[in-house]
Amino acid sequence: MRRLVKPLIGVLGVLPLVWLTFAVLTGRTSANPAEDIILTTGIWSLRFLLASLAITPLRRLTGWNVLIQYRRMLGLFAFFYACVHLAGYLAFDRFFAFDEVFADLAKRPFITAGMVAFALMVPLAITSTRGWIRSLGRRWQLLHRLVYVSAIAAVIHYLWKVKADSTLPLRYALLLAVLLGLRLWWLRRRLPRPAAAAPAR
Ligand code: HEM
């Protein structure tokens, strides 16, 4: 099963990029292919990020512990699409004028939120190897909680980017709220209840 699912996720993971490249090369994009590249890679990065966050709740709800094997792959695809997204922004939006990038960071809150989301993904991607998991021990889990902050920043980035109709970003925000809410709920149930007050004599 594992031998089949991993390559399948691998193929599904590169499909958006293959389709995007094909669309750009064959003129199947909108009138603004650069924008299409940035938007498509941004949304796929968010989708993979949320998919990786969905693994733990799905595992708990279904009891399918094998799902955990696919979390890293999904997270790495999120990072991969975020890298292409950032490269697209730097190349097509800012033509590698880094003074403009810094001005954007200071003046456009949605860009700041995107950068925060991306910056937090970097240590997660670097430490996703078996070697790092082993050498960081318990600290690895602590570090990887940054994924929650990264996902919140990514959803805020999307919400602030959209000016007219916020329906779609709100749906992603709702999904993230459910995924994080379930974790909080399970965490609360695991914590010991405060001792009942001693009865008055
Ligand atoms: C590295 C920092 C980032 C920068 C500079 C950046 C920049 C941008 C820009 C300029 C757009 C609007 C493109 C346009 O309207 O033409 C955009 C849209 C978007 N970005 Fe980012 N982004 C960053 C990180 C991220 C990350 C990490 C994610 C997801 C995890 C993400 C998800 C999105 C989404 C979902 C959209 C909207 C897509 C749509 O409307 O269909 N971005 N980003």
Give residue 199's pLDDT.
Answer: 60
When computed from its CA atoms, the radius of gyration of the chain, rounded to whole angstroms, is 20
Q: What distance in angstroms lies between residue 46's CA and the mean position of ligand 1's atoms?
A: 9
Distances, alpha carbon 142 to alpha carbons 124, 139, 152, 189, in Å: 11, 5, 17, 20
Q: Is the pLDDT of residue 195 over 70?
A: no
From the CB of 85, is ligand 1 less than 6 Å away? Answer: yes
Q: Is the pLDDT of residue 118 over 60?
A: yes
Give the residue, 3 or 156, on which the prediction is more confident: 156
The helix-helix angle for 109-126 and 146-161 (nearest 10°) equals 150
Q: Which atom of ligand 1 is nearest the CA belonging to 49? A: 30
Residue nearest to atom 39 of ligand 1 (CA): 39
**Taking residues 100-119, what's their average pLDDT?**
98
Give residue 48's pLDDT.
Answer: 98
**Taking residues 51-76, what's their average pLDDT?**
96
At residue 54, φ and ψ (nearest 5 deg) are -80, -15
Q: CB under 8 Å to 61, separation ≥6 — which residues?
A: none
Q: Is the pLDDT of residue 90 over 60?
A: yes
**Taking residues 95-99, what's their average pLDDT?**
98
When pLDDT is cut at 50, 70 and 90, the band that residue 62 belongs to is very high
Q: Which atom of ligand 1 is nearest the CA belonging to 115? A: 2
- Read off the pTM: 0.93
Give residue 192's pLDDT.
Answer: 77
How many angstroms separate the CA atoms of 198 and 201, rounded?
9
Q: Strand, coil or helix: what is 151?
A: helix
pLDDT digits (tens, 9 = 90+) for 152-176: 999 999 999 998 899 999 999 999 9
